[in-house]
Structure 1
Amino acid sequence: MGFLSRLKEDIANARSHDPAARGNLEVAVVYSGLHAIWAHRLTHQMWQHEKLKTPARVLSQAARTLTGIEIHPGATIGRRFFIDHGMGVVIGETAEIGDDVMLYHGVTLGGRSLEQVKRHPTLHDGVVVGAGAKILGPVEIGQGSSVGANAVVVKDTPADSIATGIPATFRHRSPKEHQPAVDPAEYVDPAMWI
């Protein structure tokens, strides 16, 4: 996918997730979550080359200063990723994020080890993580799952689950919860399960 096609996809994705979005230009200019993702795409490419790792870190820290969102250049992020009200989001070096994932503000995808191993979470396709949630360690959040606001997840969560609490426990979605909601805010807001 070309650069411009990816930008258009990102803008359309942001508009589909935020009913307050009034136009493509506004989204492109003022959405700090998109700016952080775009900066990450550049720094992630730089991170693949040993001589560019330090400049990649410098650029990622500049993006952090401008957006309030810290994404390590080593993190792997899929398509149509959206960060809503991103202030305070932290995504660690070995984090892996699938396609169609959404994070709210204050989310941490952090590590629990200082060893040079996979130490950050993996979020599979279609995961939604509520405001203030912490997902720590090399845990996996299964496809289509949601993590409630302020949850602290330290264990794997299977696909189509809802994780809430400190430490988080999960339950599988009921058949009713697989039906699209009439109100789009209910569909994407994990806080409704608290």
Structure 2
Amino acid sequence: MFERLVAYLDSIKARDPAPRSRWEILTYPGVWALFYHRIAHWLFEAELFFLARLVNHWSRMVTGIDIHPGAKIGKNFFLDHGFSVIGETAEIGDNVTMYQHVTLGGTNPTNGVGGKRHPTIEDDVILGSGAQVIGPVTVGRRARIGANAVVTDEVPEGATMIGLKARSTLVPAEEWMKEFVPYGTPCEDAEGNRIDCIEKLESELRSMREEIAALRAEREPQRRSGTAD
């Protein structure tokens, strides 16, 4: 048990340069929210739903993080800062990093039956601050959801999603496979790639304008000749 706790704290320290010691990490609200969730989820699985909700309610009051007791969370989950919401049927894999104000929300079933209505987050995913992942979609392994992105569709493995509604960046997934990207947003690389693309489009546009101008210059004498006749 102690070794598992140490390994968990070390996994957080590897992703966050702020803490000076493991003791400092133990003050993080995300760590306590996960601790309370483990208890609440055990009660939920035992069908002690009211007690599970009591633990969930206490956790939300003291941490500012709302994790439904039914949510399934894997190993080394790092919820930085907090103020996030994780729905009942959400499933989170191993080594997932979630920053503040993230929502793993559900869709309203038209038939009134709950079922699977929250996202599945696979291993090594990073969810940037303010990201909203809505509905029973799957975010593939090692994907990055940028800050304030809104995701309502499936996210392929290794993709980086940005924007509202979220779209994939121009950085190919197979070329963007770094071990860890803070806040899930590769700002410099993605921005540089977009600038290159814009410059290429502008160059092609200039070339097309030059070709059109040349064609007009060729046809102008013919048009004048026809008018003179």
Normalised by the size of structure 2, how large is the TM-score? Answer: 0.76
The root-mean-square deviation of aligned C-alpha atoms, in Å, is: 1.5
Displacement of 1:178:
2.0
Match of 2:177 in 1: 178
Q: Could you say what secondary structure the match of 1:189 adopts?
A: helix
Mapped contact 1:146–1:190 kept (Cα < 8 A): yes
* % same residue: 40
Counterpart of 1:105 (choices 97, 100, 103) is: 100
Higher helix share: 2
Counterpart of 1:38 (choices 7, 13, 35) is: 35
> Which structure would you say has the larger RCO, counting Cα contacts within 8 Å and 6 or more residues apart?
1
Displacement of 1:190:
1.9
Pairing 1:33-72 to 2, within 5 Å after superposition: 33-50=30-47, 52-72=48-68
Counterpart of 1:18 (choices 16, 19, 22) is: 16
Work out the CA distance in 2 between the residues paired with 1:148 and 1:117.
28
Work out the CA distance in 1 between the residues paired with 2:39 and 2:173.
37
Work out the CA distance in 2 between the residues paired with 1:23 and 1:61.
29
Deviations 1:105-146 (A, max 9, x none): 000000012431100000000100000000000000000100
Higher strand share: 1
Work out the CA distance in 2 between the residues paired with 1:124 and 1:109.
13
Match of 2:88 in 1: 93
Work out the CA distance in 1 between the residues paired with 2:127 and 2:10.
20
Deviations 1:147-181 (A, max 9, x none): 00000000000101011111111244252x2245x
Deviations 1:43-80 (A, max 9, x none): 11111112x21111111110011001110010000001
Mapped contact 2:143–2:157 kept (Cα < 8 A): yes
Structure 1 outlier segments of 4+, above 6 Å: none
Unpaired stretches in structure 1, ≥5 consecutive residues: none
* Structure of higher CA gyration radius: 2
How many residues were matched structurally?
Answer: 183
Q: Could you say what secondary structure the match of 1:178 adopts?
A: coil
Counterpart of 1:130 (choices 124, 128, 131) is: 128
Match of 1:155 in 2: 153
